[in-house]
Amino acid sequence: MSNSKTIIDIAKRTISNEADAIKNLSNLLDTNFTDAVNTIYNSKGRLIISGIGKSAIIAQKIVATLNSTGTPSIFMHAADAIHGDLGTVLKDDVVICISKSGNTPEIKVLVPLIKRGGNVLIGMTGNTDSFLAQQSNYVLNTYVEKEACPNNLAPTTSTTAQLVIGDAIAVSLLELKRFTSKDFAKYHPGGALGKKLYLRVNDIVNNNQKPEVKTNTPVKEVIVEISEKMLGATAVLENDKVIGIITDGDIRRMLNTYDNIGNLTAKDIMSKNPKTVNTDVLAVDALELMQQQEISQLVAVKDSKYVGLLHLHNLVNEGIL
């Protein structure tokens, strides 16, 4: 078995090989790239991306990236395309074919069929003399000197190059479309990423119970309110306005300070002027405020009126933290 140093050396060599190849890609960019991006941007149809083998897997990832950034895209396996799936391609669609060699049998069959349909064909290949390159309207050069594989066989560096050019296309289109974080949220409504972009305090607080007591509420009732509403705190109201907050920590400090709590009221133990947050604020911004103030609860308000409490655990449960 190889020792750890040998394995690390292999890994470093692989990374260095791929990094050098990626760096060289910028030297291969030309007007073909510009024209290809503009064609996709101005297209009235979708972007169809096809490939075979490892290139097909890269094509699927590029499609996923494009769809999530506002460019409607579909993956079409090159082998399936010539056995019935070519119907996926519609009149106004633009097609990208990915192939390192540009000369695989499936590509040689597929390309003429795409050309016959009148679709714009963009070839992504490491061989600019290949059949694919010669037949394409635009050629994206993904040439790499060698694979990271010591036998120069397994697609490694070449597929990384394809992936990077795919990202370059996606980001170019994203900026041309002026794709914003709000647009991104529309395509990512689920998961923590989407929630950071659209989830607001109101969305959370409305699902919470609403703990509140008056300034003259006896401490025993305050403790019951905090316990029943399960948010670790309660707001203290006077004339329907929040003037304080009582947390679990305030209760513990009270017990350490007073021997007799029978005559104490909420006003005696509350923390005045609690930190508040408007209900239309993004939840992720509310989290930042909590972290800055080193607190676990915020009083949520709308038009200066008490709406409820936002607890740090709410944000944890939503995946924001």
Tokens of 226: 């905090």
- Tell me if 127 sits within 8 A of 166, measured CB to CB: no
Number of C-beta neighbours around residue 207 at 10 A: 9
Give the span between the Cα atoms of 300 and 278, in whole angstroms. 6
Q: What phi and psi values does residue 242 have, to the nearest 5 degrees?
A: -75, 120
Q: Which residues contact 268 (CB under 8 A, 6 or more apart)?
A: 219
Tell me the one-letter amino acid at 41: Y
Give the span between the Cα atoms of 49 and 75, in whole angstroms. 5
What is the distance of C-alpha 197 from the center of its chain? 10
DSSP for residue 29 = -
Secondary structure E strands in 83-170: 94-98, 120-125, 138-141
3-state DSSP assignment of residue 143: coil
Q: Is 77 known as a binding-site position?
A: yes
Give the span between the Cα atoms of 222 and 235, in whole angstroms. 10
DSSP letters spanning 297-320: EEEEEETTEEEEEEEHHHHHHTT-
Give the span between the Cα atoms of 209 and 205, in whole angstroms. 8
Binding residues: 77
Binding residues for Zn(2+): 77
